[in-house]
Structure 1
Amino acid sequence: MTMNRIRSITKWIRNPKLIIMLGEKNSVGIKMNQSIRQLSSAKTNEEKKVKTAILMLNMGGPKTIADVEPFLRELFLDNDIIKLPLQKWLGPFIAKRRTAKVAKKYSEIGGGSPLHEWTNRQGSLLIERLNQIRPNNGPYKYYIGFRYTPPTLSEAFKQIECDKPERVIAFSQYAQYCCNTTGSSVNQIAKYFQQQQQQKLSFHLSFIDRWPINSGLINSFTELINNELKQFPVNSSNEIILLFTAHSLPLNSVNVGDTYTMEVSSTVMEVMKQLKFRHPFRLVWQSKVGPVPWQAPATDDVIKGFIEKGYRNILLIPISFVNEHIETLHELDIEYCKELVENLPIKMIRRCPAPNDHPLFIDGIVQLIDEHLESGVDVSPQLLLQCPLCVKKVCKDTRLWLKELQNQQQQQ
């Protein structure tokens, strides 16, 4: 076929009159082509549809200074974390009173909490790896469900329901379970679905509620500690005290049988085992709020106590934090490592970073999700067990809902 002939045919095909004529006389063919395109598009959308949703649970934090008061208000209204008389009125009042002081702290670490950024980073790395190693359960998508700041748990579930995954894993970002943190999020999830009054969820829901001895958690902390130990003078290696500092909790929570203290201790012991117990260590507690008795000894008191006893080299390890918070960036770095020791006779005090996006840590949470998918366990026996001396109706109702959910899903 000559080039002139090809050009002639092309021109004929592009003739507007021909296109109109074809539109009138061959509408069936055009509709068929449209149907084929729609089927192809539907197939593409089906291929991209979320199969497994990972819901990352955490307390949340204010992104900006303007978010501080709403964050504190939600925090002080939650009697799972702080129980107050006349909480509906006293909670917002305390939040308003504390806003200026807390906002100043956030301004000193960059104007907001980095929690959202770190959670996004961890979530992205997590699903990237899961899509590689376990594609049969993919595509995966992570969602963030915070308790006290957007995106909230209810917002996350509304988005999940729109995406229509086959299963959802509620994944606590607290390695060590505590009724005040993970427990509060689980209670909120139960309330959300109880209010929906759904007889049956549209997806399979399971929970990862604790992972205190996860290999990635232990290995990442071990490597980070070893890196920090190298920063101390060589001749002081035998004089360094390791202070594993965890977020404290009120003694009334400890006394009802909360497992948090035990689980934090288990993380510490696993890390020290990896370190071959080469250094003296203690587990200490930080971030006390309010006048009620809290778990002790307090981190700042222990720092001062050891300095008074003649110790001059201290390493702080935020063992209950998997990413940076105001508690690490301000309380530990500024209030303790700078202001507290400014006029005290200490040679060196350092703070170990949180795992954040450390490769070993990401390895660990990928393995955790992978093993959870393989296990077939929707709700752990520990999560089903209410604390022995707990009398909260919300905790009882949550366990009843969890048992009912488990039974329904086992029968499917």
Structure 2
Amino acid sequence: MLTVQDQFVRPGDDQHPATPHGRIGVLLVNLGTPDSTSYGDMRRYLSEFLSDRRMIEIPQILWQPLLQTIILTFRPSKSGAAYKKIWMDETDESPLRYYTRSQAEKLAARLNSDRVEIDWAMRYGQPSLASKIDGLREKGCERIVICPLYPQYAAATTATVNDKVFDHLKTLRWQPAVRTLPPFYDHPAYIEALAGSIAAQRDALDFDPDVILMSYHGIPESYFRKGDPYFCHCAKTTRRVREHLGLDANQMRMTFQSRFGPQEWLQPYTDDTLEALPGEGIKSVMIAAPAFISDCVETLEELAIEGREIFLEAGGEHFAMVPCLNDSTPSIDLLEALVRQELSGWV
């Protein structure tokens, strides 16, 4: 018969001497990626993505019939074609998956701690948050830092990651202690890394851009009116980087991309701006995408390919895209600074 003490022995104590415990997990989380560009994989990914109540704030009884019968009949093919343009054939994966994994591996090497376990997950698609949280627990992590890789907070990005994490924690008898990384839109390490990448790209060009566009992923304007701080965070990032580079408001402008559906989204729109700039005498432009830590379909296809076509067809002459921080040394410097800050008191 078990004694009361026996019943409350924790995993890793004498009951399970081989089970590690007392470790700390760090989980880097990015938006998500389909497993391939096939219709079936794209449909599964988009169904999960567009079924998120944080992403689409329409009553599900109205939204799901439209999504499952009309949108997901046609959109997987269109999105698959976009992904095919930027798919990494050598490793058979999206750039977002490649760079997020690389960031985790390089951060682990940088921290070089036997006590801290670094891993990565996607909010939508694979590897899932639930599987990675379980994996960290199996490795003895009793405390976990969840790191949504979104510099600017939005309910449709940062909040939905945290929602999914705590939804899984609800299913666990024994939950790890959890911290969540706050938005870092004005963190000195982020501003330094972002401004440095923009300056390096500008200096490497064979032309001098008339305007640098800071293009952020948009959200519906109604979300902003409900109190989402995303627009304000984007504005502060833009201002801090502009000041760091010694530019004025005409030399660096803020725009928003990737709108979906008929409602109004945050403006000015990136595509409309690119089309209008040549008419204003702006013939040379460079674009950065500060809302994205890693290059993805929104940066490599929507901006670098479609954005270029829009600008040049409207009469522009020179176009350049600033790569995201990806797994560069400044990117790992940034992640190390953020993670060490959140590990304070635990390590």
Does 1:90 find its partner at 2:53? no
Does 1:217 find its partner at 2:190? yes
Q: Considering only aligned residues, what root-mean-square deviation do their CA atoms show, in Å?
A: 2.2
Residue of structure 2 aligned with 1:281, choices 249, 252, 269: 252
Whole-angstrom distance in 1 between the partners of 2:343 and 2:313? 53
Q: Secondary structure at the match of 1:300?
A: helix
- Mark the runs of 5 or more structure 1 residues left unpaired by the alignment: 1-41, 377-412
The structure-2 alpha-carbon separation of the partners of 1:358 and 1:190, relative to structure 1 and needing over 3 Å to count, comes to same
8 A Cα contact 1:322 1:356, kept in partner: yes
Identity of aligned residues (%): 23
Following TM superposition, by how much is the alpha carbon of 1:190 offset from its aligned partner in structure 2, in angstroms?
A: 1.9
The residue aligned with 2:239 is 269
Q: Give the counterpart letter for 1:61 in structure 2.
A: T
Q: Secondary structure at the match of 2:125?
A: coil
TM-score, normalized by length of structure 1?
A: 0.73
Q: Secondary structure at the match of 2:168?
A: helix
Whole-angstrom distance in 2 between the partners of 1:245 and 1:367? 25
8 A Cα contact 1:73 1:96, kept in partner: no
Residue of structure 2 aligned with 1:52, choices 6, 18, 24: 24
Whole-angstrom distance in 1 between the partners of 2:162 and 2:271? 32
Q: Of the two, which has the highest radius of gyration?
A: 1
Q: Secondary structure at the match of 2:121?
A: strand
Instruction: Give CA deviations for 1:65-111 in whole Å, capped at 9, x if unaligned.
Output: 13211110101111110133423333333223201111111111126
The residue aligned with 1:307 is 278
8 A Cα contact 2:198 2:322, kept in partner: yes
Q: Give the counterpart letter for 2:344 in structure 1.
A: E
8 A Cα contact 2:46 2:72, kept in partner: yes
The residue aligned with 2:180 is 207
Whole-angstrom distance in 2 between the partners of 1:177 and 1:375? 25
Q: Give the counterpart letter for 1:130 in structure 2.
A: L
8 A Cα contact 1:58 1:182, kept in partner: no
Greater Cα shift, 344-353 or 170-179: 344-353
The structure-2 alpha-carbon separation of the partners of 1:195 and 1:50, relative to structure 1 and needing over 3 Å to count, comes to closer
The structure-2 alpha-carbon separation of the partners of 1:110 and 1:50, relative to structure 1 and needing over 3 Å to count, comes to farther
8 A Cα contact 1:57 1:146, kept in partner: yes
Instruction: Give CA deviations for 1:344-381 in whole Å, capped at 9, x if unaligned.
Output: 322211111100112122112101111112267xxxxx
Q: Give the counterpart letter for 2:332 in structure 1.
A: I
State how 1:333-372 maps to structure 2 within 5 Å: 333-337=304-308, 339-372=309-342
Instruction: Give CA deviations for 1:290-328 in whole Å, capped at 9, x if unaligned.
Output: 112111111011112221111111110111110001001
- Mark the runs of 5 or more structure 2 residues left unpaired by the alignment: 1-16
Following TM superposition, by how much is the alpha carbon of 1:150 offset from its aligned partner in structure 2, in angstroms?
A: 1.0
Whole-angstrom distance in 1 between the partners of 2:120 and 2:72? 24
Instruction: Give CA deviations for 1:203-243 in whole Å, capped at 9, x if unaligned.
Output: 22111031112333222222221122224446xx4x62011
Instruction: Give CA deviations for 1:98-139 in whole Å, capped at 9, x if unaligned.
Output: 0111111111112652111111111111122122xxx4xx43
Whole-angstrom distance in 1 between the partners of 2:31 and 2:142? 26
The residue aligned with 1:184 is 160
State how 1:381-392 maps to structure 2 within 5 Å: none
Does 1:64 find its partner at 2:36? yes
8 A Cα contact 2:35 2:126, kept in partner: no
Instruction: Give CA deviations for 1:13-57 in whole Å, capped at 9, x if unaligned.
Output: xxxxxxxxxxxxxxxxxxxxxxxxxxxxx78x85xx671211112
